[in-house]
Amino acid sequence: MISLNEYGSNSWELKITVDHHNGEQKEVSLQVSGELHVGGLMLRLVEQIGISQDWSDYALWWEQKKYWLLKTHWTLDKYGVQADAILLFTPQHKNLRLRLPSMKIVRLNVSFSSVIFRVVGDICKSLGIRRSEELSLLKPTSEIKKKKRKDKEKDKDKEPVVEDILNLHNSPVSLGLPASPGLYSKTMTPTYDPITGSPVPSTVAWFSDSPLAQQSWSTLAFSHPNCAPETLAKMYQPRTLVDKAKLNAGWLDSSRSLMEQDIQEDDELLLRFKYYDFFDLNAKYDAVRIHQLYEQARWAILLEEIDCTEEETFIFAALQYHISKLTLSSGSKDFPVESETDEVEAALSNLEITLEGGRSENLLEDITDIPKLADNLKLFRSKKLVLKAFKQYWFVFKDTSISYFKNKEAEHGEPIEKLNLRGCEIVPDVSVSAKKYGIKLLIPVADGMNETHLRCNDEEQYARWMAACALASKGKTMADSSYQSEVNNILSLLKMKSRTAAPQEVRDVESMDVKPECFLSPRYAKKYKSKQLAARILEAHHNIIHLPLMEAKLRFIQAWQSLPEFGISYYIVRFKGSKKDDLLGISYNRLIRIDTATGDPITTWRYSNMKQWNVNWEIRQVAIEFDQNVSIAFACLSASCKVVHEYIGGYIFLSTRSKDQNETLDEDLFHKLTGGRE
C-alpha cells in the first residue's frame, strides 16, 4: 500500500471489484486522488492484481450512475468519482444471446460499452446482413415472458428441451476486433475461380473466408423449421391493437450501451427489422437479409401481428409451403445467384445499350409527358346509416388528383368533385374469387378522414388505378419510373390469389408431407379440417409452383408489404387536450391517429409536411409541427417517449439514403435526429 504522504491529504480509498473471465469477482482497494486520470487508475489496478493476462478489453463501469468510464484521459474529479463510488473492472465484450427473426438463437460476443447503433452494425457484419440501420434490438415484453412461464410450468414434468444455439462468438467482430472494411465492397466486386475462371458467387466469396462455417451460412440464409401447430398455439399472439402496441415497448435506445439499459451477460434479446423501409434488396448479395426478412414476415402472419384476409392467408400459406419444399429439396446448395455466371455478359450488354443510347426517345417522352388515366369506375361515399350503393362515373386521374364527371362527354367541363390524394391512405379492398376489385381512399381533412370507395371492373384496370393512387399518396405522378413496376407487382399478387383449376394436385391432398396447420395461424387451423386446409393451400400453390426459392421469398415479402397494416408500429398515447387514450401508428412515411375502440384512423400526418419535432424531457411530451400551422403534442403511455422520438427520426434519417453512400451512414446524424443527444 502506498503511503498517504505520497498523495497528500486529498487522497482517499477507492474500492474496485474485478470481474474475471471465469466468473469470479475480487475486491481491490486503492489509495487515489481526484487528479488521477482513469488510464492511470486502470494501470495501478492491474499492477495491484498481479495477474499476467490480456487486460486490453477491460474498462471501468460505474454501477450507481450506470456509466462507462471510457475516456481514459479524464480525471476522477472530472467524472465525479468519490469514495462512495462502486466501480467494476470488467470486460467490455460479453456473450449475448440473440433470437433472430427466424427464431433461431445465436450467441455472439458483443460490446456492452458501445452504443446500440454500433453494436447492431457489428452484429449484422458478423451475420452477413447488409443495411444494419434497418434493424435494432428488442427486449421481450412482459406478456411474452408470462406466456413462456406458464408454458414451462405446464411442461415441467416433461423431459427438458435443449435449445439449439448457434455459437458465433469466435468471429473477429465478436472478439472485439475491427470488422473487415471490405465487407460490402467485397460482395460487390466480381471474384473469379482460379481454376475454372468463372465468376464466384459473391455470397460464397464472402463466407468462404469469414468466421462463419458453411453450416452457419445455411442456418442463417436457408433454414426453415416448420413450427408444430401445438407449439404455435402456445406462442403469444396479440389480439387487439393495444396488445400490438405493447410489443413495441421494449426497443432499446440506439444512443446508449447495453449495460446502460440493464442488459446483462448471456441475456436474450430479439434482433428485428425495426424500420420497415427496406432499401436495395438484392438477391445476389442479400441471401441472409432476405431470408431473415422473410422469416419476420412469416411469423408476423402466423402470430397475427398483422391482419390479412382469408384469401391472403392461404396465399401466404402456399408460399410458405413452396419455400419449405424448395429448402428441404435443395438445402444450402441453392445459392441465390442463379444469374451470376452471366454477370460479365450482362454488364457488357448494359454498357452496349448505354453507349448506343438505346431508349433516349422513350426517356424524353417520360420526362415531358405526365400520363393520365381516364375510365368508367364506380363510386361510393361512406355515410352513416346508408347501405352501400355504387354509382358509375367517368373518372380522370392526372398528376396526384382524381376528378370525376357524370359521363365522358362532360370531361371538359367542371368536375363533380376533385380528390387530391397527396397524403391520403390507400387501402385495397380486393377479393379475386368474388371478382371484387375495390380501392378505399381515406383522405385527410380538417376534422378527420373522408372515406371514399372506388370499384374497378377487372384486374388490369384495378392494377393501373391502384398503382396510380399509391404513388399519388406519396406525392408522385404516373411519370415516375416505379409506376409500371408497381402495376406489374399488383398484377402478380392478383395472379397468386386467383383460384385456377389444378385438379390432380388439389385432389391429391395426401401429397403434402407437412401438416397444413404449420402454415396457418391457429385461428384458421381451427376453422377448417386438415384436408380442407391442404386442398386450399395446394390450390393456391398451383399458381406459384414455378417460382425459384429466392423469388418466392421476395414474393412473400412483397405480399406482406401490400397489406394495409404493413409497417405500422403502434403506441398508446394521450394527445394534449384529450381526456382519453388514443393509438398512434408510426409508419415509414406518416403518423396516424387511431381510435382505440374501433381501430379506425382519425387523422394522418405525412413526414413530408413536417417542419420539426422535439421532446419536452421534463414532462416527457413529444411535440411536432407541420405545415399550415398544424401542431400536435402527446405523451406516450405504452413506452418511453424516446422510443417514439427515435422512430420518427430513424425514418427521416433512412429517407436520406442513396446508393452512392457506399453502405456508410453518419452515426452522429442518426443520434441527432433520433434524440440521442439529450
What is the DSSP track for 34-59?
TT-BHHHHHHHHHHHH---S--TTEE
Confidence (pLDDT) at 664: 58
**Contact status, residue 565 vs residue 599, Cβ threshold 8 Å:** no
**Contact status, residue 565 vs residue 307, Cβ threshold 8 Å:** yes
Pairwise CA distance, residues 490 & 497, whole Å: 11
What are the strands, taking DSSP E only, across 481-609? 569-575, 582-586, 590-594, 601-606
Can you read off the three cell numbers belonging to residue 312? 391472403
pLDDT tens-place string over residues 8-54: 557 889 999 998 766 788 899 999 998 999 999 999 999 998 888 88
Confidence (pLDDT) at 299: 93
Confidence (pLDDT) at 148: 56
Higher-scoring residue by pLDDT: 157, 309:
309
CATH number for domain 568-675, candidates 1.10.1670.10, 2.140.10.10, 3.40.140.10, 2.30.29.30 = 2.30.29.30
Q: What are 582's strand-pairing partners?
A: 573
Looking at mean pLDDT, say which of 2-11, 67-76, 155-164 comes out highest: 67-76
- Using only C-alpha atoms, the chain has a radius of gyration, in whole angstroms, of 29
Pairwise CA distance, residues 111 & 174, whole Å: 8
Pairwise CA distance, residues 490 & 499, whole Å: 16
Region of poorest pLDDT, from 168-182, 290-304, 327-341, 655-669: 168-182
Region of poorest pLDDT, from 70-79, 386-395, 522-531: 386-395
Higher-scoring residue by pLDDT: 243, 147:
243
**Contact status, residue 497 vs residue 315, Cβ threshold 8 Å:** yes
434-456 per-residue burial string, b: 16 or more CB within 10 A, e: under 16: eeebbbbbbbbeeebbebbbbbb
pLDDT at 341 over 60: no
Confidence (pLDDT) at 497: 78
Percent of the chain at pLDDT exceeding 70 = 75
Confidence (pLDDT) at 315: 92
Q: What is the mean pLDDT of residues 63-77?
A: 93
Report how far Cα 559 is from the mean position of its chain's Cα atoms.
Answer: 15
Pairwise CA distance, residues 481 & 295, whole Å: 30
pLDDT tens-place string over residues 79-129: 999 989 989 999 999 999 999 998 889 999 999 999 999 999 999 999 989
CATH no. for 372-478: 2.30.29.30
Confidence (pLDDT) at 352: 65
- Are domains 372-478 and 568-675 of this chain identical in fold? yes
Confidence (pLDDT) at 337: 43
**Contact status, residue 474 vs residue 423, Cβ threshold 8 Å:** no
Confidence (pLDDT) at 633: 95
At 625, is the secondary structure helix, strand, or coil? Answer: strand
Which residue has cell 441453392?
A: 334
pLDDT tens-place string over residues 427-463: 888 888 888 899 998 887 766 678 889 999 999 999 9
Region of poorest pLDDT, from 10-24, 124-138, 155-169: 155-169
| Length of the chain as a residue count | 678
Region of poorest pLDDT, from 16-20, 156-160, 474-478, 522-526: 156-160
As a whole number, the mean pLDDT across the chain is 80
Confidence (pLDDT) at 224: 64
Sign of CA dihedral 321, 323, 326, 332: negative
Which residue has cell 427489422?
A: 273
pLDDT at 595 over 80: yes
Can you read off the three cell numbers belonging to residue 488? 406489374
What are the strands, taking DSSP E only, across 24-164? 25-32, 58-62, 67-69, 87-91, 93-99, 105-111, 135-138
Report how far Cα 263 is from the mean position of its chain's Cα atoms.
Answer: 22
pLDDT at 556 over 90: yes
Pairwise CA distance, residues 231 & 522, whole Å: 10
pLDDT at 189 over 80: no
Confidence (pLDDT) at 11: 86
pLDDT at 6 over 80: no
Confidence (pLDDT) at 295: 94
Pairwise CA distance, residues 403 & 420, whole Å: 9
DSSP string, 204-256: HHHHHSSSS-HHHHHHHHT--PPPPHHHHHHS----SHHHHHHHGGGBPPTTS
Report how far Cα 624 is from the mean position of its chain's Cα atoms.
Answer: 24
Pairwise CA distance, residues 516 & 34, whole Å: 69
Percent of the chain at pLDDT exceeding 90 = 38
Between helices 483-497 and 310-330, what is the axis angle to 10°?
Answer: 90
Q: What is the mean pLDDT of residues 638-651?
A: 91
Instruction: Please state whether 357 falls in left (phi above 0), alpha (psi between -120 and 50) or beta.
Output: left
**Contact status, residue 644 vs residue 624, Cβ threshold 8 Å:** no
Report how far Cα 17 is from the mean position of its chain's Cα atoms.
Answer: 40
pLDDT band (50, 70, 90) for residue 162: very low
Q: What is the mean pLDDT of residues 129-156?
A: 73
**Contact status, residue 373 vs residue 465, Cβ threshold 8 Å:** yes
The DSSP code for 576 is T
Q: What are 429's strand-pairing partners?
A: 438
Can you read off the three cell numbers belonging to residue 604? 394522418
Q: What is the mean pLDDT of residues 127-137?
A: 92
**Contact status, residue 428 vs residue 463, Cβ threshold 8 Å:** no
Among residues 224, 227, 293, 287, which one has the least CA distance to residue 558?
293
Confidence (pLDDT) at 608: 82
**Four-point Cα dihedral 468, 470, 471, 475, nearest 10:** 120
Domain boundaries, the chain: 11-91, 95-307, 372-478, 568-675
Which residue has cell 470488467?
A: 90
The burial of 566, by beta-carbon neighbours within 10 Å (0-12 exposed, 13-18 middle, 19 or more buried), is given as: middle
Confidence (pLDDT) at 270: 95
**Four-point Cα dihedral 316, 318, 324, 327, nearest 10:** -100
pLDDT at 486 over 60: yes
pLDDT at 603 over 50: yes
The burial of 179, by beta-carbon neighbours within 10 Å (0-12 exposed, 13-18 middle, 19 or more buried), is given as: middle
Can you read off the three cell numbers belonging to residue 615? 421532446
Q: How far apart are the first and last CA of the chain?
A: 42
pLDDT tens-place string over residues 369-413: 678 899 999 998 766 545 567 889 999 999 889 999 999 898 888
CATH no. for 11-91: 3.10.20.90
Confidence (pLDDT) at 445: 72
pLDDT band (50, 70, 90) for residue 193: very low
